[in-house]
Structure 1
């Protein structure tokens, strides 16, 4: 199984993923960003796109890497990664489904002011890279993303509370609507 933790910068994906991994037996964190970093190291570089997710090999390699790791280790992969482009999510999720890999897709959500505050607190220098994804996240949330995942509002919750909720949802699944807020 894959526990995919989506959401924009400042939502708490990295911190929450490490905590979820500690709560789910036989689980590992696989950060799909590392696949992108590997592609960015190719010399001479791949065509400039501004984001490695636009390279088709990234999406294919994320699927293949997850599949191979699961074949080798079994268990659960916790994968923190922002994916805001619907066709990219569909390609990745279809690729995983073709290998009969179950995916639990969670989106960590917070309001824009909270996200801006978290991004500012993470670094003394404002991050234009992180801030530029706030509006695309809001648009994806409005148009498709929240309908494709279990949405967890992190605005007033600690990463430990969010991780416990996700781990409980994965280890004690109950039939639920697509969007499940934390009680």
Structure 2
């Protein structure tokens, strides 16, 4: 089974993916962004755009995920924003055509909730709380520019199943996905401080600078 976790940039996809991996024995996280940023780095700066527009990225994602699904027994978890219907068909749709059990979930939240998460992710938790209300890291400016488009497009029925996360924690969101996918997670016995520290480590490992 493949769990594709969609949602706007800063919507909690990566944190949810690693929470699922932590509590789902044998599962792995396969992040298509690694391939995308690698392709971008191959291009001169003036030619770098959205790597999802590259046919090589779409085809490569399908090839690698097909290999992961056929080569190991555990659940494959994919945190990746996809809002373009053609890209969705050529990745999620293509994997289904190949016979894989792909469960797609879109994490949604109100605009202000996503902006707050963008302010706090990475090292943002070190910024004094009053400044977080207006300050978004420069590296996330592209995510902010795309936010309204993402929220509008991802509400469409083709991107269901929709999960609203404004009032939910990451562990609770993972629980909901597991129930909908028919999976059993290990009980979450972490306290809030330990959960926060672990989520900070996940965020720091996934800071993008290019």
How far off is 1:35 after superposition?
1.2
Corresponding residue for residue 20 of structure 1: 20
**Aligned-pair Cα RMSD in Å:** 2.1
2:35 is the alignment partner of 1:35: yes
1:132 matched residue in structure 2: 145
Quick one: distance in 2 between partners of 1:71 and 1:65? Answer: 10
- Is the contact between residue 7 and residue 81 of structure 2 (CA under 8 Å) also seen in structure 1? yes
Cα distance in 2, alignment partners of residues 85 and 46 from structure 1? 24
For residue 46 of structure 1, report the CA deviation from its aligned partner: 9.4
| Structure 2 counterpart of 1:148, from 159, 166, 172 | 159
Radius of gyration: which is bigger?
2
Q: CA deviation at 1:51?
A: 0.8
Confirm or deny: 8 A CA contact 1:109 1:152 kept in the other structure. yes
* Residues 108 and 151 in structure 2, CA contact (< 8 A), matched pair in contact too: no
Question: Which residue does the alignment assign to 1:102?
Answer: 101
CA distance in 2, matches of 1:171, 1:101: 16
Aligned length: 170
- CA deviation after TM superposition for structure 1 residue 168, in Å: 2.1
Q: How does 1:117-128 map to 2 (within 5 A)?
A: 117-122=116-121, 123=124, 126=136, 127-128=140-141
**Superposition deviation, residue 5 in structure 1:** 0.3
Runs of 4+ displaced beyond 6 Å: none
Gaps of 5+ in 1: 174-183
TM-aligned CA deviation for residue 97 of structure 1: 1.8
Unaligned runs of 5+ in 2: 128-134, 185-210
2:198 equivalent in structure 1: none
The 8 Å contact of residues 23 and 164 in structure 1, kept in 2 or not, is answered as no
- Contact 1:2–1:78 at 8 Å: present in 2 too? yes
Find the aligned partners of 2:75 and 2:25 in 1 and give their Cα distance. 8
Indicate the residue corresponding to 2:169 in structure 1. Answer: 158
Q: Deviations over 1:121-147 (max 9, x none)?
A: 2235622112012111122034x3x44
Q: Matches of 1:93 and 1:47 in 2, distance apart?
A: 30
CA contact (8 A) 1:30 1:78 kept: yes
**Alignment partners' CA distance in 2, 1:148 and 1:12:** 16
